[in-house]
Structure 1
């Protein structure tokens, strides 16, 4: 009897077990996958909604405002347009272009989101008459315009926690041609797949098998976005699977337009000064100096081409390689009927990037940016500003900054061979109370100790104008033509060492007029007047002028024994330039987020009056005399009479050399010294003045305009007695003075003269 074979039953049993096991594992896997998808859905949705990317604070300089009668020359406007990468053409047809006309310029200004709101592109004509703007007209209708703002220059960034640079832009601002080209090259089925595209994966697999190497990827834009935002660059199956799952979640939870907008703000485009440039908004500025709205077909083709390999196709390093990639994409655009044949021919013949572009900023500005960063820290900002970004609008003037930097680098080697000699330069627009330029080191690019802000040094004779101005406003005490005494003085105080101040030349001129004492910067008259004013009152004047550091209440304060930074000195002299009205200096005008929503706007500041109008006018007249005929007369050769006011300053043992000069718009402060406080053997006139002179030479001059208040009239003063005499007297010194009625019979000797019988009769 034969036995039955049981092997088939055993095989069926094992197969059944494997199937059951497989089903169980599939169920477990499905549960795990479902749980992981639920986790991804919760965490990824939250992160993508609120933390898509960090955006930095982008910093802009001042906007050059053009208006009829503004003291701006054609040369200045052309220089500004060149800084903004405008193209000079024979015919203006597009934004970012200008041409020279018989009497001025035709300009097609780019659109820009200014601090006070967006402005569309504008084509206009500006005509000049001499050194002023004569008129502004819109084109082509020739309508008169009251003002036009050029877009401000981009000067740098303040990190929001990462080293990524981006300017967030909404999808509505992106040209449709750019979107269509991006989808054509990177993801044709973007609006039809669920985050992953099996068609793209299959197409890429076939292409790679045929080429026997990886020549094409199958990732969708959604997958690329996930990889850029949340995953590492490692090439593993797990990372690829994770990427696909996350792409499915994003595509399920968010609209295609939200994903596309995020991609356009996230995609990497290369480096600028060590910072990664992300997003189409900043990339268009980096490579072309344009707003996103201005991109033409050639620009779009290059940007889309760079996405594949920002380093490999960098047009600044590999222009031929980048051009081949751009032209290939232009061919695809033409074949897909996105551009016409004329557009294609014109685009392939364009340079890869315009001359002078390829940098967001031409130079780092560490000292100015440090000031901006400090002020930004004092403002009340949204806690999550890093996710919306900031746009900071400042008073920075690139022309003033360039003038200051060149003056430092060219003048210091000529002034002294001492390599330890240091410098600080501050330029402020006193009409706006804004800081226009800062140099805090003999190497303007050196990051570190910023002497313009942090070097607290004795100011020497720079304090004298405050002494005289305060004396001028005390009734019946001092006038420009009053007599002061340049004579030895010994001050003895109980419990304190004797103080015997000296003039820098160790000589004494005896009695002299206050105007001459100020112009010649004599010490002893200033000390005597200062002691009459009072140390406590002088301390209060400094505080009202912007000094918030400790002020020593000692007699030596009358000779500048108070230490201030160049920035604070600039604020004090801005008050003097404003005829006695103090307004705090700031670098920041306004702050918005990247969408243009306002966060901070500097309010109009009326200012605090430190000196009355009469005293403010008199001290300005005296400081103009310092430049015309005193310690600042070295400037007259370059600028002529009555154009500038200023003051020199020198401290004990020639440790500090100061000079401050101002015209009707700008205050320029220069300090020279050593960090170890050793003597530099330079007076203010021999050292700092030479740097200030070159700064002023390189900047547009706005001649000082002194407006006398109604209480001021022409006054005659006896040159030896310092008392009022009639202005018609031959030997009278004429100065502006507070109006007062003189006796009718006052003689030229200063005495009352008896009238003859004939004068008494008539």
Structure 2
């Protein structure tokens, strides 16, 4: 009688516990199965006819993405060199603008440009082809788990069949637990004299991974079984299987736990899960049994033995034929160059991405679906920046305390492509690219000239400016007497020459004329969000700005006065590919007219062609670049900014303690800029004259318009202006003789 009562009590307790499990487990499994991180990607290399990309750049990108060189391209992730270019099989990928299938193409080159893109095997001409973007790293959603969520429809059927063969043959027939599986596993392990199958169902394994500890006890095993029954009752087999494939643990990468077949495929093989072949699948399924014990990076022989055993099972169960089996067992355990998701950390760029991501209006529960963040990061420009700062700093100075920062942006898209915030590019800590606020010196001058072109109706590149001593009275301040860098004065000179030679006094005079308050306003309209003191000294750059802020200003100048804020993030999707955020790059705020923007760009091209940046013209040729140098008082800061038709490169050199470094912009930062430009393909600057700008002649001494065919004329662009018919080469109206009037 007592036993019956105890049995009834036990049944009541068990039913109550099952009801509790049903309520809590169902809610947890439905809403928060796991947390997925934000996975960060760089830019997608886009190939188009006439794009400035050469063969070596494409090959480097393919290798970076773990494409394999082969004699015959048959599968995705392969490439080969051809007589005219490169043939490769682009992998499938869910891009920010939607998924694209695998595609085999031939890219032909003519010098440093893409000549043609052909679809294979039909030979059809393509307008463009995108490579999948490089993976940069992750931003945690609150734990140390990495995963790339994949839907069941993307997982190869062979992977599912092999997983069920090894781990749970009766998965679609049991109710969460299987006595048959336990018995079969015991017999298989006894026959093989080793553990080749497990007795737990996939559902039990999933419960253990999601909700239970590793404790070995009867209570934990009973709890696991009950929870498995509840899950199997409440959710479909496919839901459970998909969750298992996204949750199962595959090992560690740089301190992060790799979960799910999506990221494991990238880690071990450099492939999308859809690309896995039989040998890859056998290894992944084999790793599940013991991710540390069968780690193919540390124990390749042990992992191969496990893989080959599973291949035998696959062959025995007719999941592959003999030819496939022989090819699979002869395949290396891991392809060369794989075994790491991220080979190099990018602390300064990732810091920028994290900051911007925090400012976006993201879903509160984004960790449940994960994020994929697509950035403007370009490994070519990043590598160039890192190499330049490491090699050039010891050459320009033997000062061990000399520091530096580099920011590179694509001004056509207002996107940040590279960031270096320390002379050691891998140094985690103070990021000088975004946090070092330093006086900018002569870098401010183009804003002064642009505003003068905009607000002074008669001011042109050929107008006269005064490079003569003057004093400026300030309220409650000593009289200010600005000086030129060389302590000399040139007298009256053309504005073009004053800008190209970076003369201080003409810039101060011009800045006072257009208005100090207006200059401060322009800085803020150009993206500067730090306080600006409206004092005359800002005309000589006595305003502290970061390299990132300077890059934003010069991105606006390179766009002829069209301002867009610089960003590192282009778009954000969840792991299923649904758009969470997409940047609109078509909208810009115009700070200057097209004509004013063109004139200042023409002047900044002159800085490179014949002014303080002429070393770059010597190295790369004239009319390819524009830019500006900057040097602050007592040689404390060395700046240089250069840009072509695509890139803006900003370099700052200085000391953290603000002591002099004895470097000008041209003797220090310019050399680093040159090293950067030697490693990236320069896209020559294209200055297309607006309709209201024409070629004009200017009198070199008077700074007034004269006919362009005069021998003494300085030819410079200027806004269209109807000249008097009797205007002579002297700049005055000249009375014509009877002979000139007759003919």
TM-score range, shorter chain: over 0.9
1:104 aligned onto 2:85: yes
Pairwise CA distance, 1:742 = 2.2
> How big is the shift at 1:215?
7.9
Deviation at 1:209, TM superposition (A): 8.2
1:665 aligns to what? 646
Q: Any residues of structure 2 matched to 1:55-70 within 5 Å, and which?
A: 55-70=36-51
Check whether the contact 1:583–1:605 (CA below 8 A) recurs between aligned residues.
no
- SS at structure 2 position matched to 1:473: helix
2:597: which partner in 1?
Answer: 616
Q: Which residue of 2 aligns with 1:547?
A: 528
Greater mean deviation of Cα atoms: 514-523 or 441-450: 441-450
**1:211 positional shift:** 10
Moved >3 Å (runs of 4+) = 202-217
- Which residue number corresponds to residue 305 of structure 1? 286
8 Å Cα contact 1:576/1:616 also seen in 2: yes
- Which of 312, 317, 328 does residue 331 from structure 1 map onto? 312
Partner Cα separation in structure 2 for residue 555 and residue 506 of structure 1:
19
Could you tell me which residue of structure 2 aligns to residue 193 of structure 1? 174
CA spacing shift, 1:737–1:520, aligned 2, 3 Å? same
Structure 1 residue 464 and structure 2 residue 445: aligned?
Answer: yes
- Quote the Cα distance in structure 2 between the aligned partners of 1:390 and 1:42: 29
For 2:509, the equivalent position in structure 1 comes to: 528
Deviations 1:329-374 (A, max 9, x none): 1111111111111111111111111111111112111111111111
Report the Cα offset of residue 626 of structure 1: 0.7
Distance 1:463 1:213, change over 3 A: same
Specify the alignment match of 1:164 in structure 2. Answer: 145
1:247 has 2:212 as partner: no
1:636 aligns with 2:617: yes
Q: Partners of 1:370 and 1:496 in 2: how far apart?
A: 41
TM-score by length of structure 2 reads: 0.97
Contact 2:41–2:133 (Cα < 8 Å) also in 1:
yes
Matches within 5 A, 1:208-287: 217-287=198-268
- Kept in 2, the 8 Å contact 1:463–1:560? The answer is yes
1:137-536 aligned at under 5 Å gives the runs: 137-204=118-185, 217-536=198-517
Residue 251 of structure 1 deviates from its aligned partner by 1.3
Give 1:293 deviation, angstroms. Answer: 0.6
How far does residue 206 in structure 1 lie from its aligned partner after superposition? 6.2
CA–CA separation in structure 1 for the residues paired with 2:269 and 2:190 = 38
Give the 3-state SS of the residue equivalent to 1:353 in structure 2: coil
Unaligned stretches of 5+ residues in structure 1: 1-19
Asked if the contact 2:405–2:651 (Cα under 8 Å) also holds between the matched residues in 1, the reply is yes
The alignment status of 1:732 with 2:713, answered yes or no, reads yes
The whole-number CA distance in structure 1 between the counterparts of 2:336 and 2:195 is 35
Q: CA–CA distance in 2 between the matches of 1:202 and 1:185?
A: 14
Deviation at 1:751, TM superposition (A): 2.6
Residue number in structure 2 paired with 1:682: 663
Matches of 2:46 and 2:183, distance apart in 1 = 57
Compute the displacement of 1:721 (Å): 2.1
1:667 positional shift: 0.4
Q: What stretches of structure 2 of length at least 5 have no aligned partner? A: none
Distance of 2:24 and 2:587 partners within structure 1: 51
**Structure 1 stretch 207-216 or stretch 180-189: which is displaced more?**
207-216
Contact map agreement 1:471 1:477 (CA 8 A) in 2: no
Distance 2:462 2:412 in 1: 30
SS of 1:42's equivalent in the other structure is: helix
Distance in 2 separating the partners of 1:138 and 1:248: 51
TM-superposed CA distance for 1:475, in Å, is 4.0
Q: Distance between the aligned counterparts of 1:255 and 1:357, measured in 2? A: 35
Deviation larger for 712-721 or 240-249? 712-721
Q: Summarize deviations over 1:609-646 as a string: whole Å, max 9, x none.
A: 11111111111111111111111111123211111101
Q: Is the 8 A contact 1:60 1:152 kept in 2?
A: yes
Shift of 1:28: 1.2
CA drift at 1:447: 1.7
In 2, Cα distance between equivalents of 1:348 and 1:207: 22
Could you tell me how far apart the structure 2 residues matched to 1:214 and 1:646 are?
A: 68
Could you tell me which of 736, 740, 743 is aligned with 1:759?
740
- SS state of the match for residue 135, structure 1? strand
CA distance in 2, matches of 1:537, 1:233: 67
Kindly report which structure 2 residues correspond to 1:672-751, keeping only aligned pairs within 5 A, or say none. 672-751=653-732
**Does residue 83 in structure 1 map to residue 64 in structure 2?**
yes
Farther off after superposition, 89-98 or 730-739 = 730-739
2:33 maps to what in 1?
52
C-alpha displacement at 1:192, in angstroms? 1.9
Q: CA deviation at 1:387?
A: 0.5
Residues 385-406 of structure 1, C-alpha deviations (whole Å, 9 max, x = no match): 1000011111111111111111
SS of 1:668 mapped into structure 2: strand
Counterpart in the other structure of 2:555: 574
Number of residue pairs the alignment of both structures matches: 743
* Length-normalised TM-score, structure 1: 0.95
